[in-house]
Amino acid sequence: MIYPEPVARLIDALTRLPGIGPKTAQRLAFFILKRPADEAQALAGAIVAARTQVVTCSRCHNLTDTDPCRLCSDESRDRTMLCVVQEPRDVAAMERTREYRGLYHVLHGAISPLDGVGPDDLRVRELVARLHDGSVSEVILATNPNVEGEATALYLARLIRSVTPAVRVTRIARGLPVGGDLEYADEVTLSKALEGRREL
């Protein structure tokens, strides 16, 4: 079927979203067209605002609209603990447990030997730099419990031990089922895993 050019463009843009195929994109496009104009305006505005106002925090590299982010500037957080996660969504997952009161460091990915993603492609140098002032006494490695996450944790443990031996390095326990993504874990599983972390 041939659509008017603006509709075709909208469908094309929606298809680029993860998990959205051409059929879903069509359905979403026509849903948007049927709704009042101000709703579409609000949606477009929200997308533009999120894209332009969100930056990465210069300390923890989490996504934020203030720099440093709210977590980094919160004086009540424990500055001796640093929890290392792969993605910004993992910070949200850890925060939902309400167990952890330290700071975070977001790597923006995981080492994947088979895809050519190495330490230099992640915020690893920035992590090491944060450890040099001596305020952090423990690093908790909370990468995903799959091969890439384990490779990342093993590599970071080795690196941190060699450059800042005084820092204790722990790994969240394998209370999490292997092979999955951290963000899908429920709060109970995740806080259990945090409780049972160990040296690496």
Nearest distance, CB of residue 8 and Zn ion, angstroms: 40
Residue 192 is classified by DSSP as: H
Indicate which single residue of 25, 83, 94, 185 sits in contact with another protein (rule: CB under 8 A): 185
Among 22, 45, 118, 134, binds another protein (CB under 8 A): 118
**Of residues 150, 158, 199, the one with CA closest to residue 178:** 150
Whether 71 and 100 have beta carbons less than 8 Å apart is answered as: no
Residue 134 binds to another protein (criterion: CB under 8 A): no
Please tell me the distance from the alpha carbon of residue 91 to that of residue 139, in angstroms, as a whole number.
15
Q: Residue 69: which of another protein, Zn ion, none does it interact with, CB under 5 to 8 A by kind?
A: Zn ion
Of another protein, Zn ion, none, which one sits near residue 198, judging by CB under 5 to 8 A according to partner kind?
another protein
Task: Report what 60 binds from another protein, Zn ion, none; CB cut-off 5-8 Å by kind.
Answer: Zn ion
Which one among 151, 167, 188, 191 touches another protein, defined by CB under 8 A?
Answer: 151
Paired sense of beta strands 55-56 and 198-199, if any:
unpaired
Rounded CA separation 72/75 (Å)? 8
Which amino acid does the sequence have at 125? R
Tokens of residue 198, six digits: 């160990």
Q: Cβ of residue 57: shortest distance to Zn ion, in angstroms?
A: 3
Q: Is 64 exposed, middle or buried (0-12, 13-18, 19+ CB in 10 A)?
A: buried
Contact of residue 158 among Zn ion, another protein, none (CB under 5-8 Å per partner type): another protein
Binding site for another protein (CB under 8 A): 18-19, 111, 113-116, 118-119, 146-147, 150-151, 154-155, 157-159, 161-162, 165, 170-171, 176-181, 184-185, 189, 195-200
